[in-house]
Amino acid sequence: MELNGNQTATDVNQTKPIRCIVKLGGAAITCKNELEKINEENLEIVSTQLRQALLSSDKVVGMDWSKRPGISDIACNVAGFRDKLRVDSTNFIVVHGGGSFGHFQASNSGVHKGGLQQPLVKAGFVATRISVTTLNLEIVRALAREGIPSVGMSPFSCGWSTSGGNLPVADLSVVAKTIKSGFVPVLHGDAVLDDVQGCTILSGDVIMRHLAAYMKPDYVVFLTDVLGVYSHPPTEPNAVLLREIAVGEDGSWSITKPTLQHMNNQVEITVAAHDTTGGMVTKISEAAMIAKLGIDVYIVKAASSHSVKALSGELREKIPDDWLGTVIHFSREEVQ
Amino acid sequence: MELNGNQTATDVNQTKPIRCIVKLGGAAITCKNELEKINEENLEIVSTQLRQALLSSDKVVGMDWSKRPGISDIACNVAGFRDKLRVDSTNFIVVHGGGSFGHFQASNSGVHKGGLQQPLVKAGFVATRISVTTLNLEIVRALAREGIPSVGMSPFSCGWSTSGGNLPVADLSVVAKTIKSGFVPVLHGDAVLDDVQGCTILSGDVIMRHLAAYMKPDYVVFLTDVLGVYSHPPTEPNAVLLREIAVGEDGSWSITKPTLQHMNNQVEITVAAHDTTGGMVTKISEAAMIAKLGIDVYIVKAASSHSVKALSGELREKIPDDWLGTVIHFSREEVQ
pLDDT tens-digit series, residues B20-73: 999 999 999 999 888 999 999 999 999 999 999 998 766 788 899 988 777 666
Q: Give the model confidence (pLDDT) of A96-124 as tens digits.
A: 999 999 999 999 999 999 999 999 999 99
**pLDDT of amino acid B177:** 95
A34, A36, A37, A65: best mutation site toward chain B, by most B Cβ within 10 Å?
Answer: A65
Q: Taking CB atoms and an 8 Å limit, are B154 and A154 in contact across chains?
A: yes
Torsion of CA A34, A40, A45, A46, to 10 degrees: 60
Q: How far is CA B77 from the centre of its chain?
A: 30
Local structure of residue A67 (DSSP, 8 states): B
Peptide bond into A320 cis (omega under 30): no
- Is pLDDT of B270 > 50? no
**pLDDT of amino acid A7:** 40
Identify the residue with better confidence: A39 or B281.
A39
B122: nearest CB among A4, A157, A182: A182
Q: Taking CB atoms and an 8 Å limit, are A72 and B34 in contact across chains?
A: yes
A126: contact with B, CB 8 A cutoff = yes
Q: How far is CA A236 from the centre of its chain?
A: 26
| pLDDT, mean of residues B153-177 | 88
- State whether CATH 3.40.1500.10 applies to domain A1-56+80-217: no
Contact B63, B44 (CB under 8 A): no
Q: Taking CB atoms and an 8 Å limit, are A36 and B67 in contact across chains?
A: yes
**pLDDT of amino acid B85:** 66
**pLDDT of amino acid B76:** 77
In A11-50, the residues whose Cβ lies within 8 Å of chain B are 34-36
- Is pLDDT of B7 > 50? no
Q: Taking CB atoms and an 8 Å limit, are B159 and A177 in contact across chains?
A: yes
Local structure of residue A59 (DSSP, 8 states): -
Look at residues B193, B183, B153, B3 and name the one whose alpha carbon lies nearest to residue A153: B153
Kindly tell me the burial class for residue A276, based on how many C-beta atoms sit within 10 Å of its own C-beta (0-12, 13-18, 19 or more).
Answer: exposed
Q: Taking CB atoms and an 8 Å limit, are B66 and A120 in contact across chains?
A: no
Beta-bridge partners for A185: A151
What are the domain boundaries of chain B? Answer: 1-217, 225-336
Which chain B residue has its CA at the smallest distance from A106's CA?
A: B65
CB-based contacts of B49: which residues, under 8 Å, 6+ apart?
A: B303, B307, B308, B311
Q: Give the model confidence (pLDDT) of A201-238 as tens digits.
A: 999 999 999 999 999 999 999 999 999 988 888 888 88
CB-based contacts of A188: which residues, under 8 Å, 6+ apart?
A: A95, A96, A97, A98, A132, A133, A135, A136, A139, A154, A155, A204, A207
- Is pLDDT of A139 > 60? yes
A7, A68, A126, A128: best mutation site toward chain B, by most B Cβ within 10 Å?
Answer: A126
Size of interface A-B (CB pairs under 8 A): 217
Q: Taking CB atoms and an 8 Å limit, are B151 and A129 in contact across chains?
A: yes
CB-based contacts of A88: which residues, under 8 Å, 6+ apart?
A: A55, A56, A57, A147, A149, B119
| pLDDT, mean of residues B201-206 | 92
In A67-106, the residues whose Cβ lies within 8 Å of chain B are 67, 72-74, 76, 78, 81-82, 84-88, 104-105
In B140-179, the residues whose Cβ lies within 8 Å of chain A are 140-141, 144, 149-154, 156-159, 161, 171, 173-174, 177-178
A259: contact with B, CB 8 A cutoff = no
- Report the interhelical angle of B40-54 vs B305-312 (nearest 10°): 40
Q: Taking CB atoms and an 8 Å limit, are A154 and B157 in contact across chains?
A: yes
| pLDDT, mean of residues A64-93 | 77
**pLDDT of amino acid B77:** 73
| pLDDT, mean of residues A231-250 | 87
According to DSSP, the β-strands at B253-257 and B244-247 are antiparallel
**pLDDT of amino acid B1:** 38
CA B309 to chain A, closest CA, distance in angstroms equals 27
A5: nearest CB among B6, B66, B119: B6
HEC readout, A218-256: CEEEEEECCCCCECCCCCCCCCCECCEEEECCCCCEEEE
Cα→Cα distances A172→A25, A167, A178, Å? 22, 14, 10
Which chain A residue has its CA at the smallest distance from B66's CA?
A: A131
**Candidates 3.40.50.300, 3.40.50.2000, 3.30.1330.120, 3.40.1160.10; correct CATH number of B1-217?**
3.40.1160.10
**pLDDT of amino acid A1:** 38
Beta-bridge partners for A320: none
Q: To the nearest whole percent, how much of chain B has pLDDT over 70?
A: 84
B129: nearest CB among A35, A74, A151: A151
**pLDDT of amino acid B174:** 93
Q: How far is CA A80 from the centre of its chain?
A: 31
B107: contact with A, CB 8 A cutoff = no
Query: Which residues does chain B have within 8 Å of residue A194's beta carbon, measured at their own beta carbons?
Result: none
**pLDDT of amino acid A95:** 98
Q: Give the model confidence (pLDDT) of B101-157 as tens digits.
A: 999 999 999 999 999 999 999 999 999 999 999 999 999 999 999 999 999 999 999
Residues of A marked as binding for substrate?
98, 103, 204
